Amino acid sequence: MLTTSKRVRLLQGNEACAEGALAAGCRFFAGYPISPSSEIAEYLSMQLPRLGGVFLQMEDEIAAMAAVIGASLAGRKALTATSGPGFSLKQENIGFAAMAEVPCVVVDVMRGGPSTGLPTSPAQADVMQARWGTHGDHPIIALVPASVREAFFETVRAFNLAERFRVPVILLMDEIVAHMREPLELPAPGELEIWDRPRPTVPPEAYLPYADTPSGVPPMADFGTGYRHHVTGLIHDERGFPKDRPEVVDALLRRLLRKLEVTREDIDRFEVIGTDDAEVLVVAYGSVARSARAALREARAAGQKVGLFRPLTIWPFPEAHLEKLARGCRAIVVAEMNAGQIVLEVERVVRGCCPVYRVNRLDGEPIAPEEILRGIKEIP
């Protein structure tokens, strides 16, 4: 349950995610049961009513995403949780949220695929779907925690980013992080930085729901508060009404993308270990990064200069930071539980300044430290 004082609890990753949502101010959840994310819904079904919130089990994943958008338009911080097949079904409405600038958080607990695949086994194969799953040039943020502690704090950050930038935020957990249990010291009330969406400071008659601002993020009035707020998935002008003039189209789409670049340093988050003198750089995220840390310790003990770059913000991809690190390396090893997705981003970013090698696993089993070490040793 939501704590009233700081204390340590033994939590599953999914439970920590639910606690993080509550701590961030989430008071609405709509979802549909799907492994391996179901514990998030189960947990919130008990806790939200106790806090005056709303829990809805919808008839399907499409309706769940639509309900989240509606709740957010009415002023609630809203969440849904799913896994691969359900994430696919949500994509059209995620695109609607991006176009209409409706803040919301979507948790995708990744499992093996394609299709129904491996419902209870880990994978990291939804990384590109998180970025490009919906059509068009759209803004999106995706975060990848690697521990129970990060499941809590990255969920809080997901809500803060969604509210601050009026954008859908994806929390990509893999099944291992979702189902592991670790001790977590939950912060006391008032210790967390909590963001709320910008709201209008002008009277209703002067309100432009999609006006440009220095940050690119327009103020957002809650439905039912007297402000006119026309919402559409079509290209629209500052009032929210559909327009197809080229200059309106260009201005809107560029603003949607620009708002994530104006204060990019507030979105990017990553961890580096042993990179000051690294000759070989390992890139890993989520649960695979835990194996990469163990591999790094063994490699260092054997006298190898190996470092780790672990993105917590995976979209927008933290390319400037990786590019800088790559200049001092003779090789990069990318380890991930898929056929090779983030490795494509790494290859794009390093632009041939050093070779990039892959360690991949597709069989529903985690990547062990020994596999990453083997990949390091095979570098010419």
CATH assignment of 7-186? 3.40.50.970
Alpha carbon distance 181, 107 (integer Å): 18
pLDDT digits (tens, 9 = 90+) for 265-279: 999 999 999 999 999
- CA-closest candidate to residue 131, choices 351, 357, 341: 341
For 181, left (φ over 0), alpha (ψ -120 to 50), or beta? beta
Alpha carbon distance 335, 358 (integer Å): 6
pLDDT at position 5 over 80: no
pLDDT digits (tens, 9 = 90+) for 311-326: 999 999 999 999 999 9
pLDDT at position 241 over 90: yes
What the block records as the tokens of 75 is 């002023």
**Beta bridge pairs of residue 270:** 311
**Beta bridge pairs of residue 108:** 82, 172
pLDDT digits (tens, 9 = 90+) for 213-240: 999 999 999 999 999 889 999 999 999 9
pLDDT at position 194 over 90: yes
**Beta bridge pairs of residue 118:** 112
Task: Tally helices (H) and strands (E) across the chain.
Answer: 12, 15
Amino acid at 209: P
Q: Do domains 7-186 and 271-377 have the same CATH topology?
A: yes
What the block records as the tokens of 347 is 């290859």
pLDDT digits (tens, 9 = 90+) for 310-364: 999 999 999 999 999 999 999 999 999 999 999 999 999 999 999 999 999 999 9
Residue count of the chain, please give it. 380
What the block records as the tokens of 182 is 């670790």
The distance of Cα 323 from the centroid of its chain, to the nearest Å, equals 22
The whole-chain average pLDDT of the chain stands at 96
- CA–CA distance from 270 to each of 267, 303, 320 (Å)? 10, 25, 12
Q: Where are the domains of the chain?
A: 7-186, 271-377
Structural contact between residues 306 and 299, judged by C-beta atoms closer than 8 angstroms? yes
One CATH from 3.30.70.20, 3.40.50.920, 1.20.1070.10, 3.40.50.300 for 271-377:
3.40.50.920
pLDDT of residue 228: 85
Alpha carbon distance 64, 38 (integer Å): 14
pLDDT digits (tens, 9 = 90+) for 67-84: 999 999 999 999 999 999
pLDDT digits (tens, 9 = 90+) for 138-170: 999 999 999 999 999 999 999 999 999 999 999
Which residues touch 219 (CB under 8 Å, ≥6 apart)? 198, 199, 200, 201, 207, 209, 211, 213
Percent of the chain with pLDDT over 90: 97
pLDDT digits (tens, 9 = 90+) for 109-133: 999 999 999 999 999 999 999 999 9
